[in-house]
C-alpha cells in the first residue's frame, strides 16, 4: 500500500494510545480513518482531537469480543466511507494475575480481547478487503512480549501476544496472492491506557501489586506512541512484516536467538526424505516472499 491517500483505515482501540496515534498519522497521510473503541468517553475525546487535526474520520463504539457488533461496524464503515483498505487490530488489555495462579476467568478475559479481537477483525474484514480487489494491509499490534516472554505476572499476556505473532506470520503468506500485506508490531514500553482499568480497580480496592506498580512508574519513560505509529505506517508502505521500534531490546533478542540456535541437535540423523519435504516447504514460502517483493 504505497499510496494511502483517499483510502480508508479501521483502527480498533483507536480512542487512545497507539490506536489514536495511528489514526492521527494516517489522517496526516490523507486516509479516511475509523476509530473503534468500547470506551465512549475516550471516543469523544479522540473524535474532538481528530476533528482539530482536520481529517475525515468516523468514531464507532465497538467491543472487539462482540462478533455481531463487528459486523454492524463493518456495514457502517461501508456506508460512510466505502471500501476498507487497512485494518489495524490494536485493541488489547493486560492483567497482573500470575500465570501459575490464574483461573479460567483471567485467561478468558485476556485471550478474548488480545487474540479473539484480532481473529474477529480478520474474519469480519478480510472478506471485504478481498472482495474489492484493490489490495490492502492488515496491522496486528503484538508486543515485545511476543518475542521475549514476561515473567509470571505477564504470562497470560505473553501467551496472547505470541499467538498474535504466529497468526500474523501465517496470514502474511496466505494473503500474498491477494496483494494484501500483513505487518506485526512489537511495542515495548509505550504511552497507552492499557493499565487504566487495572489502576482504577486497585484504587477502588485499596490494593496494589509490584508488577503493576512497576509498569505504571515505567510509563514516565515510555515511547511517544506517535513515534511508533510513524514507523508502523512506513511498514505498511513497504510491506514489511515486522515493526520493532524499541532498539533497547536488540541485545536481548540476539541472546534469545542464540539460545534457540544452541538448542539445535545436529547429532541426530535426519531422514533424507524428511529433509527434502522441509526444503520444499521452505522453498514454497520463499517463492511467496519473492512474489510480495515484486509488488
Q: Cite the active site residues.
A: 157, 161
- 64 contacts 116 by C-beta, under 8 angstroms: yes
Say which DSSP state 90 is in: -
Cβ neighbours for 245, distance < 8 A, ≥ 6 positions apart: 187, 188, 223, 227, 228, 231
* ∠ CA 202-140-142, rounded to 5°: 45
Cell reading at 164: 498474535
Using DSSP's 3-state secondary structure scheme, residue 46 falls into helix
- As a whole number of angstroms, the distance between CA 88 and CA 124 comes to 13
- 29 contacts 85 by C-beta, under 8 angstroms: no
C-alpha distances in angstroms, 283 versus 120, 155, 266, 276, 289?
31, 34, 22, 10, 10
Amino acid at each position: 500500500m504505497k499510496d494511502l491517500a483517499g483510502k480508508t483505515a479501521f483502527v480498533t482501540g483507536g480512542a487512545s494510545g497507539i490506536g489514536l496515534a495511528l489514526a492521527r498519522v494516517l489522517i496526516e497521510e490523507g486516509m479516511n480513518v475509523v476509530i473503534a473503541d468500547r470506551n465512549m468517553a475516550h471516543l469523544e475525546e479522540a473524535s474532538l482531537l481528530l476533528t482539530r487535526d482536520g481529517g475525515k474520520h468516523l468514531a464507532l463504539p465497538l467491543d472487539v469480543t462482540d462478533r455481531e457488533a463487528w459486523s454492524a461496524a463493518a456495514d457502517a464503515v461501508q456506508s460512510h466511507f466505502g471500501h476498507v483498505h487497512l485494518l489495524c487490530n490494536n485493541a488489547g488489555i493486560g492483567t497482573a494475575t500470575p500465570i501459575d495462579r490464574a483461573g479460567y476467568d483471567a485467561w478468558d478475559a485476556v485471550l478474548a480481547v488480545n487474540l479473539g479481537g484480532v481473529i474477529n477483525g480478520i474474519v469480519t474484514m478480510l472478506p471485504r478487503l478481498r472482495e474489492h480487489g484493490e489490495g490492502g494491509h492488515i496491522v496486528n499490534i503484538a508486543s515485545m512480549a511476543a518475542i521475549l516472554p514476561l515473567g509470571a505476572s505477564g504470562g497470560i499476556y505473553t501467551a496472547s501476544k505470541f499467538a498474535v505473532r504466529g497468526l500474523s506470520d501465517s496470514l502474511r503468506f496466505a494473503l500474498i496472492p491477494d496483494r494484501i500485506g500483513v505487518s506485526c508490531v512489537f511495542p515495548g514500553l509505550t504511552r497507552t491506557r492499557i493499565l487504566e482499568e487495572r489502576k482504577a480497580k486497585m484504587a477502588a480496592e485499596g490494593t496494589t501489586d509490584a508488577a503493576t506498580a512497576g509498569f505504571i512508574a515505567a510509563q514516565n519513560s515510555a515511547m511517544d506512541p506517535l513515534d511508533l505509529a510513524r514507523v508502523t505506517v512506513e511498514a505498511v508502505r513497504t510491506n514489511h512484516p515486522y515493526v520493532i521500534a524499541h532498539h533497547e531490546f536488540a541485545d536481548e533478542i540476539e541472546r534469545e536467538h542464540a539460545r534457540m540456535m544452541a538448542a539445535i541437535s545436529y547429532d541426530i540423523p535426519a531422514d533424507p526424505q524428511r529433509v527434502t519435504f522441509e526444503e520444499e516447504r521452505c522453498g514454497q514460502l520463499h517463492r511467496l516472499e519473492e512474489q510480495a517483493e515484486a509488488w
